[in-house]
Amino acid sequence: MTDKFISIEGIARRYPGAGGGETTIFEDLWLSMKRGEFGCVIGHSGCGKTTVLNILAGLDQPSEGAVIVDGQAIEGTSLDRAVIFQSHALLPWRTVLGNVAYAVTSKWRNWDRAKVKAHAQKFIDLVGLTGSEHKRPSELSGGMKQRVGIARALSITPKIMLMDEPFSALDALTRGTLQDEVRRICLETGQTAFMITHDVDEAIYLADKIFLMTNGPGAVLAEIVENPLPKDRGRIDLHRHPLYYALRNHIVDFLVSRSKTFAATVTDYDPRNVPVVRPGKPELVVAAEAEDSIEASWPSVARPSTSA
């Protein structure tokens, strides 16, 4: 296949166990994404989501397997892959501008001051922090700090943006606005993005592809959910879309029950050909079944109008 921009090929991560053995967090993980796609990984804590992201970032090495990005196997970290950290990880002794400029000078070492400043300013404006350039991170709110983190990641114009639960430490309102920003920026720039989240709605709003991982240790990528909602979806009326609840119920159902029982119930699992499902689309049996079963046991869940 030629349209694999990111291709994770059979990676595994094992840690030395207590009794001399090894603990396998996950193994034989295959995953691919196209250029410009937004991928979200959802799974319970301990399934190795963060490890997958760190391996993609080059901060961690897989025990087996390889990751290929844009036709090249990755080796260590790279300016092509920017990371937005959960804890924003701003350098507290630098100003907002200083933090972004640090990334800019790291990428373009021979740029002069004015050029670096202008470039950094462009991205500070993009995330809506105009006027706060000379503030230090300690003077910013949590949401503003994460905006700086986003500006810093975008300023190096990476091929991929990697996000490790970037909004989980924020309040719901701030999270919503930042999701809007990220979605707008990714759509405008055609940015390829890979994100880890706990938040089902966040994944539905942002992602084109949602990767569902089973519980660790020994976690596997259970299925890939293709988001059936239109590209121009808005956060406000997302839940009114006819396919929204089918999709949401499918994911929640997976997290609640199937993520635990997956290994025991699915016998013909092939890690290289993970089933792709499009909830709500008639040609998909898996999704339809899941929806039916939930509707039977808990009918109100499937009625969008009542909970809106």
Partner 1 sequence: MTSSLRFRAAVVSIVLFAAFLGIWHLATRSTGAVGNMSPEYAKLMGLTATQGKSAMPGPLDVGAKLWEHLRQPFYDNGPNDKGLGIQLGYSIARVGLGYLLAVIVAIPLGFLIGMSPLISKALDPFIQVLKPISPLAWMPLALYTIKDSSVSAIFVIFICSVWPMLLNTAFGVAAVRKEWINVARTLEVGTVRRAFTVILPAAAPTILTGMRISIGIAWLVIVAAEMLVGGTGIGYFVWNEWNNLSITNVIIAILMIGIVGMLLDQILARFTRMVTFPE
Interface residues toward partner 1, by CB under 8 A: 57-59, 76-79, 81-83, 85, 87, 89, 91-93, 102-103, 106-107, 136-138, 156
- Structure tokens belonging to residue 287: 């999704």
Cα 275 from Cα 56, distance rounded (Å): 22
Minimum CB distance to partner 1, residue 88 (Å): 9
Phi, psi of 174 (to 5 degrees): -65, -40
At residue 229's C-alpha, the angle toward residues 225 and 232, to 5°, is: 135
Nearer to partner 1, 80 or 181 (CB): 80
Residue 240 is given by DSSP the state G
Nearest CA-CA partner of 91 in 148, 18, 27: 148
Reduced to 3 states (helix: H, G, I; strand: E, B; else coil), residue 116 is helix
The dihedral through the CA atoms of 274, 276, 279, 281 has a sign that is: negative
Minimum CB distance to partner 1, residue 195 (Å): 16
Minimum CB distance to partner 1, residue 153 (Å): 9
Helices and strands of the chain, counted as H and E runs? 10, 11
Minimum CB distance to partner 1, residue 70 (Å): 16
Minimum CB distance to partner 1, residue 8 (Å): 18
Nearer to partner 1, 78 or 132 (CB): 78
Rg of the Cα atoms in the chain: 20
Nearer to partner 1, 168 or 177 (CB): 168
Minimum CB distance to partner 1, residue 260 (Å): 31
Nearer to partner 1, 106 or 130 (CB): 106
How many residues can be counted in the chain? 308
Nearer to partner 1, 91 or 276 (CB): 91
Nearer to partner 1, 107 or 198 (CB): 107
* C-beta neighbour count of 3 within 10 angstroms: 9
Cα 135 from Cα 71, distance rounded (Å): 40
